[in-house]
Chains A and B, each alone.
Chain A
Amino acid sequence: QQQVKQSPQSLIVQKGGISIINCAYENTAFDYFPWYQQFPGKGPALLIAIRPDVSEKKEGRFTISFNKSAKQFSLHIMDSQPGDSATYFCAATSTDSWGKFQFGAGTQVVVTP
C-alpha cells in the first residue's frame, strides 16, 4: 500500500496564482521529506526538502509547510509561472533506510498564461 498519500491528482492554476499540493504519511520513522519536480521525458529532480524539526522551509517561490503531529506536509508554489507546469512528487524516507524513498502518486500542475 502507498505509504505517502498525495492530493490532488491534478491542478490547473492561472499565472501568478498559488499552487498547493498536500501529502500525508503514516510511518513516524520518516525523517526526510523532499519534493521532486518532473518534466515530460525527464527524471525527477529535487526541488526542496524538509526535516521534521522545522515547520516551514522556503526557497524562492517554493515553500514546504510541515505538520508533524498531523503527519502532513504540503508544497506551496507562489506566483506560479507557465514554466512551473510539471508533475510534482512528494516523498519520504528515513535516514537509516539506505535511500529507500516512498513516493506520493504525483500531482500534474498546469499553469495557464
Chain B
Amino acid sequence: DTAVSQTPKYLVTQMGNDKSIKCEQNLGHDTMYWYKQDSKKFLKIMFSYNNKELIINETVPNRFSPKSPDKAHLNLHINSLELGDSAVYFCASSRYTDLPYGYTFGSGTRLTVV
C-alpha cells in the first residue's frame, strides 16, 4: 500500500530525448510537489500543485513541464533532456489544511541522461 508512488524508479535515456515521470498518491492529499536531488544530495523544490492548480513554480528551465490531471496525480514531463538533468526526482504530497505537517515523499526516480 504505497502512499506516494513514482514510476519509473530508474530511467536511462539519451540527450535530446523527451521523457515523463509519473506520480500518484492515495493519501487523499490535495497538494503535490516535485523536488530535484542533485548528485551532492541537495534537495530543491521545483513545482507544486494544489487541486490541479500550479502554486509554486521555481526557477526551472521551461523544458520541464508539470501536469496534474487530478489532485491524486502529478506528472513531470521533460523535453530535450540534457546531461545536467541527471538527478533523482522526488514527488511529495500533503493536505493543504494540514501544512506544514503530513508531508510525504515518494521513493524517487533516478534519471540518468547519457
Contact = CB atoms under 8 A, between A and B. Distances in A.
* Chain A, interface residues (CB within 8 Å), range: 20 to 34
Query: Which bracket fits the contact residues of B?
Result: 20 to 34
B103 A101 contact: yes
Contacts of A103: 42-44
Nearest to A93: B100
21 contacts: A38-B41, A43-B4, A43-B105, A44-B43, A44-B105, A45-B105, A49-B101, A98-B48, A98-B99, A99-B31, A99-B33, A99-B48, A99-B94, A99-B99, A99-B100, A99-B103, A100-B56, A105-B41, A105-B42, A106-B42, A108-B41
Interface string A89-113: 1000101001111010110100000
Nearest to B105: A43
Interface in A62-80: none
Interface string B44-65: 1100101000011000000000
A99 B35 CA distance: 12
A95 B100 contact: yes
A42 interface: yes
A106 B38 CA distance: 12
Contacts of B103: 34, 46, 99, 101
A98 B56 contact: yes
Contacts of B55: 98
Q: 5 tightest A-B contacts by CB? A: A43-B105, A103-B43, A32-B100, A106-B41, A99-B99
Given A98-B48, A98-B99, 12 more contacts: A42-B108, A43-B108, A87-B41, A89-B43, A98-B50, A98-B55, A98-B96, A100-B45, A105-B41, A105-B42, A106-B41, A108-B41
